[in-house]
Amino acid sequence: MLYALSSLLCNLEMCHAMNPGSPRKLITFDWAMKRLLRSRVNFEILEGFLSELLGEDITILEILESESNKESRGDKFNRVDLKVKNGKGELIIIEVQYDREYDYLQRMLYGTSRVITEHQKESEAYATLVKVISVNILYFDLGHGSDYIYRGATSFTGIHDHDTLELDRRQQMLYGKNSISNVYPEYYLIKVNNFNSIATTTLDEWIYFLKNQEIKDDFKAKGIQKAKQSFALLSMSDEELRAYNRYQDSLRDEASYVETNYYCARMEGKEEGIEIGKLDVAERLVAKGMSAEEAAAVAGIDVQLLRH
């Protein structure tokens, strides 16, 4: 939990002094996306995370502007995204989402579709459509599943022969792709809260950081030790720390607002359900021959409600 600036610095320094071998708390990944990872000197960190996730060496060429990561909007919303172009010309969207969104899967589809159309020039052939990879770091429970990393890709399976449709040699040369799944958007869902905080792989080391804001000294994932140096709270200026605290406060305020509305809606629904149940009981009693006044008294409702 983050405290006021002075308390934060004091507690971190005291904690590290008492436990010099314990990992220090780091800034959250979404804040790093907003302020640090846009700089070319920190591309190594982003390349490391994506390389571990995608299972191949990723080179970041540039950071591209996207609708929801503009500074004018960033501090007011708990959704942060980053759009990058890699060495193969593919576009990768990285998004962090805290609050539950039941239509998030559809929003992922809309997001990749919008990126594709935004980067397609007029009169260009369909073969030039850009490949988009959508990486979603979620701090809420989406769907029903026990794993903490899910990958989605498009493939075509024969209804009768059950074979998988593949690109022919000419298509592979034209598209520069070796499979149909590499033509269509690709999705990664990282359900952070499902991770048990036991890092058994180098990819797990990144997920451990996403969940705990800590990086252990023996972690060996690509780019992660550079992240430990760059994301240290104590290396931030007073102004940066104040901005970070304001951002965290805005997340808590937003989360509190959402949860309050959710709780109120549940309570209102529960109360309405109770009233409906009482009315149903009263109506049954009337059907059995009891007067409206007696039935209303037994059910605990106003008789006028029963009559109307």
What are the sequence ranges of the domains in the chain?
Answer: 5-236, 270-307
Q: Is the pTM of this model over 0.85?
A: no
Most confident segment among 25-39, 63-77, 227-241: 25-39
pLDDT at 14 over 70: no
Q: How confident is the model at residue 11 (pLDDT cuts 50, 70, 90)?
A: very low
Beta bridge partners of 93: 83, 134
Share the mean pLDDT of the chain: 79
In 10 A of CB 98, how many CB atoms?
A: 19
Angle at 213 between CA 26 and CA 81, to 5 degrees: 95
Angle subtended by helix axes 238-287 and 292-299, to nearest 10:
140
Q: Is residue 83 within 8 Å of residue 66, measured between CB atoms?
A: yes
pLDDT tens figures, 111-127: 999 999 988 888 888 88
pLDDT level of residue 43 (50, 70, 90 thresholds): very high
Per DSSP, what are the bridge partners of residue 191?
A: 138
Q: Could you tell me which of 120, 121, 150, 124 has the C-alpha nearest to residue 138? A: 150
